[in-house]
DNA sequence: ACCTGAACACCGTTCAAGT
DNA sequence: ACCTGAACACCGTTCAAGT
């Protein structure tokens, strides 16, 4: 059939991504389908495949938006004035808050798996590395010069630790009842871990 | 149609669970379908629904087996003699090792979501609580009497922290390269966190 | 050139009907 | 009583054909 296009390719891509974003935000990855996206934007399913390689490609671009949104928040905190340890605490709390605000979108990053044999794109790994860099930055004043390796290990441990708390708490798998309780665990992790670092 | 049953109901249930376990172990949750299970055991798809409520019910029972298998390992470690802090380290390493041995089965616990509005069954929550109890047990000698609340918070923080490291490392989202590197992060988390606890 | 929509190969789940 | 398998309402993805 075919009809005269009423959208530029770029507009069409954005339309698709917006629709996918909304579906995931409300219903999670399980609610997403190419056919549902097509229905919402008033195009046929085939159109999705004219604009993107496949559904995984669409999902990966939503993930990119989520990673960028979190990065913005972390950057804003790093710009604030404040005590070094407090800044690390704020980063951790910002992560927790972000995941509790948009749990389905955040969960997407861990629910979604590429088919076996497919690797995450390089730009995706770079975005992850970038987030880790924000934590490393905040930790720099707490480590003596030349101990980048220790600092980077600490950044990974704290990052993963906060991730574990948020992940188990949003999944209701930590036998805690509230977001506040999760916040206390995050505070405790950061405070106690930092207190346990070798003095310098 | 219908044919004379060649299996007792219990045998049939076990057959279904075994088939589902194998599919998930090799292909992950994405590879599981009621039709594929039926094919493997030589019954029709409808039979799955005679024996279980639905596919989620089957998956939940696989999850139960996984949780039980981890619990067994933790119990074995608690029975060993050894330094208190070392025991906590061993528990954490056992968790890491378990998740790296059976990554798809372990991932199941976090990939699988019940439909909106459905809650995890009570027995599932109890199994989770039970695992947490193992960590609390190992931490008891490290806390003064009467500080159960602090101890339980520490157990949750360590549990979630180790979970975060294993989860991000098996998903390749921590910019680390090896299981050994993940092991070092786990050691560092436990050692540094325990070192940072208020002295008693 | 752009977009469609039928087609293919799948799903989960139900339930009337057959042995 | 037990089990089937057709039926319903979905999927992702492709690609010949229509405008």
Closest-CA residue to A188 (of A164, A171, A172): A164
Per-residue pLDDT of chain A (200 residues; tens, 9 = 90+): 455 578 999 999 999 999 999 999 999 999 999 999 999 999 999 999 999 999 999 999 999 999 999 999 999 999 999 999 999 999 999 999 999 999 999 999 999 999 988 999 999 999 999 999 999 999 999 999 999 999 999 999 999 999 999 999 999 899 887 888 999 999 999 999 999 999 76
Percent of chain B at pLDDT exceeding 90: 90
The whole-number Å distance from B41's CA to C17's C1' is 23
Q: Which residues contact A165 (CB under 8 A, 6 or more apart)?
A: A96, A174, A182, A185, A186, A189, B156, B157, B160, B161, B164
Among partner residues A30, A110, A168, which is closest to B160 by beta-carbon distance?
A168
Chain B environment of A110 (Cβ under 8 Å)? 110-111, 167, 171
The domain spans of chain A are 1-52, 63-195
Asked whether residue A32, judged by its CB, lies under 7 Å from any atom of the DNA or RNA strand D, the reply is yes
At the topology level of CATH, where does B63-195 sit?
Tetracycline Repressor; domain 2 (1.10.357)
Chain B environment of A164 (Cβ under 8 Å)? 159-165, 167
Q: Does residue B2 carry a pLDDT above 70?
A: no
Q: Which pairs from B4-11 meet CB under 8 Å and 24+ separation?
A: B9/B51
User: Whose C1' is closest to the CA of B49: which nucleotide?
Assistant: C13
Q: Which residues contact B63 (CB under 8 A, 6 or more apart)?
A: B108, B109, B112, B124
**Token pair of A13 as six digits:** 């891509």
Contact assignment for B160 to A161 by CB distance below 8 Å: yes
DSSP B172: T
Supply the pLDDT for residue A117: 86
Tell me how many degrees the CA angle A170-A174-A180 measures, rounded to the nearest 5: 60
Confidence of residue B199 (pLDDT cuts 50, 70, 90): confident
Asked whether residue A195, judged by its CB, lies under 7 Å from any atom of the DNA or RNA strand D, the reply is no
Q: What is the mean pLDDT of residues B81-110?
A: 96
Supply the pLDDT for residue A36: 98
The whole-number Å distance from A135's CA to C10's C1' is 44
| Domain at B1-52: CATH architecture | Orthogonal Bundle (1.10)
CA distances from A51 to A10, A15, A19 (A): 9, 11, 14
**Token pair of A127 as six digits:** 């975005």
Supply the pLDDT for residue A108: 97
User: Whose C1' is closest to the CA of B33: which nucleotide?
Assistant: C11
- Specify the DSSP element, H or E, that contains A170: helix A148-170
CB B65 within 8 Å of CB B20: no
User: pLDDT tens digits for B32-44?
Assistant: 999 999 999 999 9
C-alpha–C-alpha distance, residues A70 and A163, integer Å: 13
- Among protein residues, the one whose C-alpha sits closest to the C1' atom of C14 is B46
């Amino acid at each position: 059939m075919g009809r005269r296009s009423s959208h530029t390719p770029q507009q069409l891509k954005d339309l698709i991504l917006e629709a996918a974003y909304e579906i995931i935000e409300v219903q999670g990855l399980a609610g997403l389908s190419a056919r549902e996206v097509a229905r919402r934007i008033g195009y046929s399913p085939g159109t999705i495949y004219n604009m993107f390689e496949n559904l995984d490609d669409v999902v990966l671009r939503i993930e990119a938006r989520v990673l960028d949104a979190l990065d913005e928040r972390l950057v804003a905190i790093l710009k604030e004035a404040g005590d070094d340890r407090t800044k690390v605490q704020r980063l951790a709390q910002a992560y927790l808050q972000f995941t509790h605000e948009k749990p389905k979108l955040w969960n997407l990053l861990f629910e979604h798996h590429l088919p076996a044999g497919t690797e995450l794109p390089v730009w995706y790994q770079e975005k992850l590395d970038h987030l880790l860099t924000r934590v490393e930055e905040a930790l720099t004043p707490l480590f003596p010069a030349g101990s980048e390796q220790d600092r980077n290990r600490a950044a990974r441990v704290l990052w993963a630790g906060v991730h574990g708390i948020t992940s188990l708490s949003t999944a209701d798998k930590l036998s805690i009842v509230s977001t506040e309780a999760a916040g206390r665990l995050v505070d405790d992790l950061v405070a106690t871990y930092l207190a346990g670092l070798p003095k310098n």
